[in-house]
A and B are shown apart, each in its own frame.
Chain A
């Protein structure tokens, strides 16, 4: 356990009967960072968060918060607070009473409580809302109240359980930026659970990608996206084209990989698993591929295929290119720079794809 970590999870497991929700997991969360637990539903991220809050107890392993073992600390005595997925606003109390709920133990005078509540209301930009009943609030407002109610207690760690999941897309994006700014202002460590990879990438200092109760990779958003450690992470964060290949030769830190139907693909050596004769998975992000309607004159990787189908998203289109001998078509993101009203052309026309060696990630074969 390092000096800087506020939360230290050491070899923690949680079994629900035969189900291993969390399986021998260890990780450290640094003081003041915005840390996300990212994974598909059922990967154990919420269970882990609930163990931090004290609502679930680990079957095995130890959790330390600010250096203190949590094995015998009940939830109402932990130095953490939580923002619940459905916000859990008390329906019988108004906004002020909700926010002041946790101050009971602090034994403040009425004036002090009122001042603190006012400050917090200002912070979440709901100054005029103090006397509103809980059911008069919109989703975004409820979310702010839940946040204020937890932050007013000045916890060492704030736990957030998919707090933006119930909001519509526009509001969610707004709240993402706001939450991020708020976290920087108050300086409290945030542990944020989400299944939305974009959300995790936008907001976090570091992200732990979880699957089946285990952590697959803990890294900064850019590292996760550009240098995933295996296919599962690569596939979960954004989209990725995968091809199976064999490393034929390595020269000056560049590998030549034989990918049957695509021919030879050039890539950078990015780890010890890339050695001559090794089976690897070649991974390329769709937006790193450029499509041409004539053979390009370039030294980068070039393959030829046929346009299989397109999907229009307004700012961009997804093209799917069928390649002879390849099971899945290759996905390509084309940014709609020009204002074309006719769409991206006939299906079944020949297309050339190209991407530089730097765009390729070589993953260990599975």
Chain B
């Protein structure tokens, strides 16, 4: 016979718990509180070292430089100055085009989002926007420099990701053992200083550099190539080399995470290597590609060391101007405004990029 279990009597009155016990109970029960507790040192440092300077920067950007002092009255003057440094009218005329270009996505939902049209718009929209923005910034020096920086960084990002992808793919899929050694090898360039690496490229690309003198002594060219150093090409090459590891690692991680049986399933369902790559491997590694693109793009837009050393006059970027505003030109408010505008532009571009990749993913699928 089974025994009947008597109900446990309910405790009489409330049990008083100590403060520490209650605190611990709260912490144990709440996942977010534990998360923030873990994060708090970092969060504190971030606020101190990041939010504060940015706050200052924004504050500066609404002031005016008066010789060695600031006029602290609130003004949008520096922002206007940024866009109107030269040929005021030309730039504002072209705003008409810019707003039109940027408004295109707003009309898109009105059309039936057909497969072909969608694909066309995804390629077409950035091209149109690209052309129109280029047209409108032609005569305004700061927007033009910002636009040029974005283009150079875009080229750097594209080059880095395209070159990093096969490398990451190789390590993820073809290196069977000692993957760690390969990953360490990728970081080897970081063992020397950033400046040294830039100077190394100077030696390679210079007028009498390794590349030119090598080609000359082989008799392949008579005159040294002039475009190698002090050009946008040199900036792109140097930056791409410097940031390669930052692109390889996230792509490698996302490729490594792909379940191998998914690739086998794609093959089993009739896909050759190319179709399989485009339909499974690439879409599944997109998070890595996006991370790599952002990791390379964001820091390189503002870089001023590399353009300063290998860029010459044509390779100058917005970072160089901002640096000089905080330095030789001694115009902190304009520097602040330029920084804020750059940040806004980069943020907008990244949002556009993320939106496009999301659309693109849907199109491929």
Which residues in window 40-73 of A have CB below 8 A to B? 53-55
How far is A189 from B265 in the complex, measured between Cα atoms in Å?
Answer: 19
Which residues in window 75-93 of A have CB below 8 A to B? 75-77, 80-82, 84-86, 88, 90-93
The closest CB in chain A to the CB of B1 belongs to A341
Which residues in window 153-208 of A have CB below 8 A to B? 153
Contact B270 A88 (CB under 8 A): no
Tell yes or no: A144 within 8 A of B by CB. Answer: no
Contact B270 A97 (CB under 8 A): no
How far is A75 from B275 in the complex, measured between Cα atoms in Å?
Answer: 14
**Residue with the greatest number of chain A CB neighbours at <10 A, chosen from B269, B270, B361:** B269
How far is A248 from B327 in the complex, measured between Cα atoms in Å?
Answer: 109
Choice from A55, A102, A153 contacting B264 with Cβ under 8 Å: A55
Tell yes or no: A149 within 8 A of B by CB. Answer: yes
Tell yes or no: A105 within 8 A of B by CB. Answer: yes
Contact A88 B265 (CB under 8 A): yes
Which residues on A sit within 8 Å (CB–CB) of B269? 76, 81, 101-102, 149-150, 153
Q: Given the known inter-chain contacts A55-B264, A82-B265, A86-B259, please indicate yes or no for A92 contacting B270, CB distance below 8 A.
A: no
The closest CB in chain A to the CB of B272 belongs to A76
Choice from A77, A80, A86, A104 contacting B275 with Cβ under 8 Å: A104
Contact B365 A84 (CB under 8 A): no
Which residues on B sit within 8 Å (CB–CB) of A84? 261, 264-265
Contact B271 A88 (CB under 8 A): no
Q: Given the known inter-chain contacts A84-B261, A88-B261, A88-B262, please indicate yes or no for A93 contacting B270, CB distance below 8 A.
A: no
Contact A76 B265 (CB under 8 A): no
How far is A88 from B259 in the complex, measured between Cα atoms in Å?
Answer: 8
How far is A206 from B306 in the complex, measured between Cα atoms in Å?
Answer: 71
Tell yes or no: B101 within 8 A of A by CB. Answer: no
Which residues in window 248-271 of B have CB below 8 A to A? 259, 261-262, 264-271
Choice from A76, A85, A86 contacting B270 with Cβ under 8 Å: A76
What's the minimum C-beta distance from B207 to chain A, rounded to whole angstroms?
50
What's the minimum C-beta distance from B173 to chain A, rounded to whole angstroms?
14
How far is A104 from B279 in the complex, measured between Cα atoms in Å?
Answer: 11
Contact A82 B262 (CB under 8 A): no
How far is A183 from B127 in the complex, measured between Cα atoms in Å?
Answer: 53
Which residues in window 111-163 of A have CB below 8 A to B? 149-150, 153
Which residues on B sit within 8 Å (CB–CB) of A85? 261
How far is A80 from B267 in the complex, measured between Cα atoms in Å?
Answer: 11
Choice from B265, B268, B270, B272 contacting A90 with Cβ under 8 Å: B265
How far is A316 from B96 in the complex, measured between Cα atoms in Å?
Answer: 85
Which residues on B sit within 8 Å (CB–CB) of A53? 264, 268
Which residues on A sit within 8 Å (CB–CB) of B276? 76
Tell yes or no: B284 within 8 A of A by CB. Answer: yes
Tell yes or no: B283 within 8 A of A by CB. Answer: yes
Which residues on B sit within 8 Å (CB–CB) of A75? 264, 267-268
Which residues on B sit within 8 Å (CB–CB) of A105? 270
Contact bitstring B269-292, A, C-beta under 8 A = 1, else 0: 111100110011001100000000
The closest CB in chain A to the CB of B361 belongs to A92
Interface extent on A, as a size class? 20 to 34
Choice from B259, B261, B268 contacting A81 with Cβ under 8 Å: B268
What's the minimum C-beta distance from B130 to chain A, rounded to whole angstroms?
28
How far is A35 from B34 in the complex, measured between Cα atoms in Å?
Answer: 54
Contact B264 A101 (CB under 8 A): no
The closest CB in chain A to the CB of B283 belongs to A92
Which residues on A sit within 8 Å (CB–CB) of B365? 92-93, 97
What's the minimum C-beta distance from B82 to chain A, rounded to whole angstroms?
42
Contact A104 B270 (CB under 8 A): yes
The closest CB in chain B to the CB of A93 belongs to B365
Choice from B259, B261, B270 contacting A153 with Cβ under 8 Å: B270
How far is A350 from B9 in the complex, measured between Cα atoms in Å?
Answer: 48
Which residues in window 311-365 of B have CB below 8 A to A? 361, 365
Q: Given the known inter-chain contacts A86-B261, A92-B361, please indicate yes or no for A76 contacting B284, CB distance below 8 A.
A: no
Which residues on B sit within 8 Å (CB–CB) of A93? 365
Contact bitstring A16-35, B, C-beta under 8 A = 1, else 0: 00000000000000000000
Contact A76 B267 (CB under 8 A): yes
Contact B284 A101 (CB under 8 A): no
The closest CB in chain A to the CB of B280 belongs to A90
Contact bitstring B27-43, A, C-beta under 8 A = 1, else 0: 00000000000000000
**Residue with the greatest number of chain A CB neighbours at <10 A, chosen from B268, B270, B279, B284:** B268
What's the minimum C-beta distance from B149 to chain A, rounded to whole angstroms?
34
What's the minimum C-beta distance from B290 to chain A, rounded to whole angstroms?
14
Q: Given the known inter-chain contacts A75-B268, A102-B269, please indicate yes or no for A90 contacting B262, CB distance below 8 A.
A: yes
How far is A80 from B272 in the complex, measured between Cα atoms in Å?
Answer: 15
Which residues on A sit within 8 Å (CB–CB) of B259? 86, 88
Contact B270 A102 (CB under 8 A): yes
What's the minimum C-beta distance from B165 to chain A, rounded to whole angstroms?
18
Contact bitstring A199-227, B, C-beta under 8 A = 1, else 0: 00000000000000000000000000000
How far is A105 from B267 in the complex, measured between Cα atoms in Å?
Answer: 12
What would be 27 A-B contacts, judged by CB atoms less than 8 Å apart? A53-B264, A53-B268, A55-B264, A74-B267, A74-B272, A75-B264, A76-B268, A76-B271, A76-B276, A81-B268, A82-B264, A84-B265, A86-B259, A88-B261, A88-B262, A90-B266, A91-B284, A92-B361, A93-B365, A97-B365, A101-B269, A101-B279, A102-B269, A104-B271, A105-B270, A150-B268, A153-B269
Enumerate the 5 nearest inter-chain pairs by beta-carbon distance, A residue then B residue, closest first: A102-B269, A88-B265, A88-B261, A82-B268, A76-B267
| 18 further A-B pairs in the complex, CB-CB below 8 A; given A88-B259, A105-B270 | A74-B272, A75-B264, A76-B269, A76-B272, A77-B270, A82-B264, A82-B268, A88-B261, A90-B266, A91-B284, A92-B284, A93-B365, A97-B365, A102-B270, A104-B270, A104-B271, A149-B269, A150-B268
